[in-house]
Amino acid sequence: MSQTFVSHLECSLTGKVYPADCLQGLSDSNRPLLVRYDLAKLEKSIKRSEFIAKNVDGFWRYSSLLPVSKPENRISLGEVVTPLVPVNQFALKLGALPGNILVKDEGRLPTGSFKARGLSLAVSMAKTFGVDHLAIPTNGNAGAAMAAYATKAGIRSTVLCPADTPEINVREIQLQGAKTFLVNGLINDCAKVIAEGKEKTGWFDVSTLKEPYRIEGKKTMGLELIEQFQWELPDVIFYPTGGGTGIIGMWKAFAELKELGWIKCKLPRMISVQAMGCAPIVNAWEKGDEFAELWENAHTVAAGIRVPVAIGDFLILNVVRESGGTAIAIDDETIIQFRDDLAKDEGFLLCPEGAATLAAYHECLKKGLVDKNEKAVLFNCASGIKYPLPPVYDRVDIEGEAIDYSRFTDAI
């Protein structure tokens, strides 16, 4: 297909219209631009039963609701439709029903996180518009995905990370071809350096929501859920929220499918999960505010959601409000406890952000905000092995005395 159904871009705050046939960043009011499609035309051209190109790998199967026109500009590293993994033993332990907690394991995507979705789209569009240098501030996963896709596309890339970003992430970014720098600040400080360096360097800023296409990539999580639930949806979705691209993107997907008349079901309640050490959205939600305040001294083991200020704050809060969801913060100790427990009980190692959604599910179940009969999808946004893990101390000495085999049969 060499056409798209994109009609224009629209400021997410004011509704002002912008052309979609050239490179765009933020709107004049410094807010995210959203991609709009000619859905009436799409609906006339494609039947619902033809929408999903099942023979195409990963999210490129939904191309008629994506902005990339030429197949040769689709920058791909072998994306997959990520599985919904039931955690039944754990569900029973928490007092839920088996089959009702499904973890969408985004760690299976290229570069080990769902940042692949957004950055694949952003890089594909950058290639479409002939951009030759991309820059991004990152807590790790976005930088890794950007570096990988930019390199694949033959585009130069620069990545700035807070100095305490998990080491494995920083190193993978560098190996995947980005010029990589450690910054003595947080992600918003890195973002400032990139925004202010635009003129001097000529790079294009692909920060969260500062260009229109990462949301379109993240939207594919919602499209995949529709496919996996066969044109239905779960009752509730738990999403670990940093910049919020995913929660905004999924909601956008549902809205587009509703407008196309392709889904009739009730939409899920969207639960925004943050860490207690960095919870600007939860704070704004509890106060009933439209925008969130900058969170001072942000800290959490869940690096991917250590985002003190989100440019799409009002969009995230809107999704939570419109969907009848809520926003909830989890402390680091509980996050790690849930990660460790699930790994030991079910052999499934979540990332800390994913573990936060499991802890949040438990909180909501206890508070009656979720019913045990409801189907919940929890997002595990990255592979658990990208994060620091506890060390192993037990040793076997093969040069010493006879080995004491009773050590191996002791309980763990």
Ligand X SMILES: *Cc1c(COP(=O)(O)O)cnc(C)c1O
Judged by the rule CB under 6 A, the positions of this chain that interact with ligand X are 113, 115, 141-142, 208, 218, 240-246, 304-305, 351, 353, 381-382
| Residue placing its CB nearer to ligand X in the complex, 67 or 137 | 137
Beta-sheet pairing, 101-105 with 84-86: antiparallel
Q: How far is the CB of 47 from ligand X (least distance, A)?
A: 31
Cα separation, 258 vs 253, in Å, equals 9
| Residue placing its CB nearer to ligand X in the complex, 100 or 165 | 165
Cα separation, 250 vs 218, in Å, equals 7
Structure-token pair, residue 227: 């496919």
Is 384 exposed, middle or buried, given 0-12, 13-18 or 19+ CB atoms closer than 10 A? buried
Of all residues in the shown chain, the one whose CB is closest to ligand X is 304
Q: How far is the CB of 139 from ligand X (least distance, A)?
A: 7
Cα separation, 224 vs 195, in Å, equals 33
Q: How far is the CB of 361 from ligand X (least distance, A)?
A: 16
DSSP-derived 3-state class of residue 189: helix
| Residue placing its CB nearer to ligand X in the complex, 155 or 273 | 273
Residue pair 285/231 in contact (Cβ under 8 Å)? The answer is no
Helix (H) or strand (E) holding 286: helix 280-287
Q: How far is the CB of 209 from ligand X (least distance, A)?
A: 8
Q: How far is the CB of 398 from ligand X (least distance, A)?
A: 39
Q: How far is the CB of 56 from ligand X (least distance, A)?
A: 24
Q: How far is the CB of 30 from ligand X (least distance, A)?
A: 18
DSSP single-letter state for residue 72: G
| Residue placing its CB nearer to ligand X in the complex, 62 or 114 | 114
Helix axes 245-259, 313-323, angle to 10 degrees: 50
Strand order of the sheet with strand 269-275? 84-86, 101-105, 376-380, 236-240, 269-275, 326-330
| Residue placing its CB nearer to ligand X in the complex, 58 or 304 | 304
Q: How far is the CB of 298 from ligand X (least distance, A)?
A: 13
DSSP-derived 3-state class of residue 34: strand
Structure-token pair, residue 380: 């595990």
| Residue placing its CB nearer to ligand X in the complex, 75 or 381 | 381
User: Considering only CA atoms, which of 175, 207, 204, 171 is closest in space to residue 189?
Assistant: 207
| Residue placing its CB nearer to ligand X in the complex, 33 or 39 | 33
Residue pair 375/230 in contact (Cβ under 8 Å)? The answer is no
| Residue placing its CB nearer to ligand X in the complex, 39 or 178 | 178
DSSP-derived 3-state class of residue 369: coil
